[in-house]
Each structure stands twice: as C-alpha cells, then as structure tokens.
Amino acid sequence: MVRAEKDLPWVEKYRPRTVDDVASQDEVVSVLKKCLQSGDLPHLLFFGPPGTGKTSTILALARDLYGNEFRQKVLELNASDERGISVIREKVKNFSQMTANQGKIRYRIVILDEADSMTRDAQTALRRTMEKYTKTTRFCLICNYVTKIIPPLNSRCSKFRFRPLPTDVLVNKLDEICTKENVNFRGSDDLKFLIELAEGDMRRAVTLLQSAHRISAEKITREDIRNIAGVIPDNVVEQIYTEPVLDRLTKRMRDFVREGYSGDQLLTQLLQMIIADERIEDTKRAALLEKLAIVEHRMKDGASELISLQDLAATIVSSH
C-alpha cells in the first residue's frame, strides 16, 4: 500500500489530520480546542467557500475526540447519500441505538456535509430529529451558502464562518509542502503569484502547485500559471471592455467562446475592471453592473453563453 500513498494527489495527502493542523480559521479552532478539553460540544454549523477547511476540520476534530473509536462514534452523511426525510430519521435512529454510550466522550457526532443541497422539508425533519437525540448526539452541518439553511436549524447551532485563507497563511502551508515534495518554487515570487490566483481556496492552491510542479520539466512562465488556473489574460478582457463597435464586439465574444474561456470568469474580471475604471460615468457604470448581474443569472440558468455575452456586448458598446 506504500505505492498507493504515493499516487494520492496532494490535496488528500496533506489534508489536516488534527485540529492543530488546520491553518487559519482561528476562531473555530480555538473554540473547538476548548471543547476538546471540556469534552462538551454544541451543535455546529460551518459555512464558507470551497477549499477553506470545513470538512477537514470536523473530521480532524472527530479524530482528536475519538481516536480509534472514530468509526463507531461518527456518522457522515453527505449529498451523495440518500437524504430524504425518512432516511435521515432512520439512519440517525439506528446510529444512536447501535453504538453503546460509553467511553470518555458520551455523545456521538452526525456530520451532514453539503447540507445546502438538502430540501427544506428534509431540513425541517432534521430539526425534529436533532431535538430528539440532543442528549446523546451532536450535529455538524456544513455548507457553502448559509442562506440555504432554514432559520430554525440555523439558530440551533453555533455558527462558524470559514473565510478564504489569507495569502501569508497559504504561503507558509505551501512552503511546507514544497519542502516535503522537493518543489523548487519554494519561497519564490512565482509561488506567491500562483497563490493569489487561488483566491483563498487552499484546495485550489495545492492542486495548482502540484500541477505546476509536475509540468515544470520545461520552463513555465507566469502566463502558463495563469493559464492552468483558468484566468483570462488581462488584454483579452480589456479588448472586450474597450471595443466601441458592436459588430466587432459580438465577433470578439464569438472568438472568446471558441477559445473555451469561461463566461463567468469573464464577468468576474470585467467587474473588477469596471469598478476600477475612474473615467466611466456613474449611470453607465450602474447600467453595466446591472447587465452583469442579469447575464450571470441567465448563464447559471443554462442560457447560451454566446447569446448572453453578445447581449452584454451591446450594453458595453452603449456605455462608451
């Protein structure tokens, strides 16, 4: 099995094992450490963007709490499990009865990862289940969007926001990995550049590092790093933003789609450009921002990116 270990991508290889390994997220870490000492735990709700350590933290906590008993004491239900109303009730019930209630820590933990994908009905049912087993079981809900959790559930938990990881923390963590993996980016400006592209998502930063390292047999440039991070070159975005002729801009949008760039990445980068633009009139800026919102919404609904972006093109042209 040594062999398999080597084959594991770095994100899993360097997943935090203990609460101490969790980088940043000081608030939640300090509270959880107190809980570790006192042996008591509230219901938890973790929320925040992808790759900030939510799943890792609860798994690390459970490992710290239970050690070898982990399997008997922790039930993990995620979006891939059947999570209808009755299923949750049954599973939690069986779990509570199955495990003998002994050991240092009296309660068990039920982890509901990706809870934002649960229906409202299932969440309502969950609330009752939570109340019923509150003596013996603690729940940890995890989600990206806290607004998708119904208020009665929300208010029963201690909430912890997981923030995008700050650059200096990422630099430290990635430097550690560089040392262990013999990566020659260690401490370099290129490493910092790569980290900034990850926008606080540690999972993304680690994957980018691994990939950049694997392909660095040949010399790689910053342009290459941007490319693997899926960021659109600034000049492409600028040409779109400054093009005054509609025909030319609709064609540019066609080329843009042909290049395979992602539409919502364009919106993100345009947004930054529009906000930083000091010359544009306020009313025109407002019109542009509103259009960005509409286009984003439509594309997420499944609308054609080509047509949506051409619609945006018309608004851009009329803002000149």
Ligand X SMILES: Nc1ncnc2c1ncn2[C@@H]1O[C@H](COP(=O)(O)OP(=O)(O)OP(=O)(O)O)[C@@H](O)[C@H]1O
Q: Which of residues 1-60 bind Mg ion (CB under 5 A)?
A: 55
Residues in contact with another protein, shown as a per-residue x/- string from 137 to 156 under the rule CB under 8 A: -------x------------
Among 19, 107, 114, 157, binds another protein (CB under 8 A): 114
Minimum distance of another protein from residue 71's CB (angstroms): 14
Among 24, 57, 99, 308, binds another protein (CB under 8 A): 308
Residues in contact with another protein, shown as a per-residue x/- string from 72 to 91 under the rule CB under 8 A: ------xxx-x-x-------
Q: Burial letters for 257-287: b for 16+ Cβ neighbours within 10 Å, e otherwise?
A: beeebebeebbbbbeebbeeeeebeeebeeb
Among 16, 85, 262, 284, binds another protein (CB under 8 A): 262
Select the span of 18-26, 89-97, 223-231, 267-275 touching ligand X (CB under 6 A). Answer: 18-26
Paired tokens of 106: 């009296």
Minimum distance of ligand X from residue 115's CB (angstroms): 11
Question: In the range 172-191, which residues lie near ligand X by CB under 6 A?
Answer: none
Paired tokens of 142: 């995890």
Task: Round to whole Å and give the CA distance between 167 and 16.
Answer: 18
Task: Round to whole Å and give the CA distance between 12 and 19.
Answer: 16
10 and 125 in contact (C-beta within 8 Å)?
A: no
Residue with smaller CB distance to another protein, 96 or 310: 310
240 and 252 in contact (C-beta within 8 Å)?
A: yes
Minimum distance of ligand X from residue 56's CB (angstroms): 3
Q: What is the largest CA-CA distance in the chain?
A: 74
Q: Which does 53 bind (CB under 5 to 8 A by kind): ligand X, another protein, Mg ion, none?
A: ligand X
Using CB under 6 A as the binding rule, whether residue 164 contacts ligand X is answered as no
Q: Which does 311 bind (CB under 5 to 8 A by kind): ligand X, Mg ion, another protein, none?
A: another protein
**Other CB atoms within 10 Å distance of the CB of residue 38:** 8
Task: Round to whole Å and give the CA distance between 239 and 249.
Answer: 9
Using CB under 6 A as the binding rule, whether residue 112 contacts ligand X is answered as no
Residue with smaller CB distance to ligand X, 140 or 249: 140
Residue with smaller CB distance to ligand X, 144 or 265: 144
Paired tokens of 318: 């009329």
Residue with smaller CB distance to another protein, 167 or 211: 211
Residues in contact with another protein, shown as a per-residue x/- string from 32 to 71 under the rule CB under 8 A: -----------------xxx---x----------------
Using CB under 6 A as the binding rule, whether residue 11 contacts ligand X is answered as yes
Using CB under 6 A as the binding rule, whether residue 126 contacts ligand X is answered as no
Binding site for ligand X (CB under 6 A): 11-12, 14-16, 22-25, 50-56, 144, 162, 202-203, 206
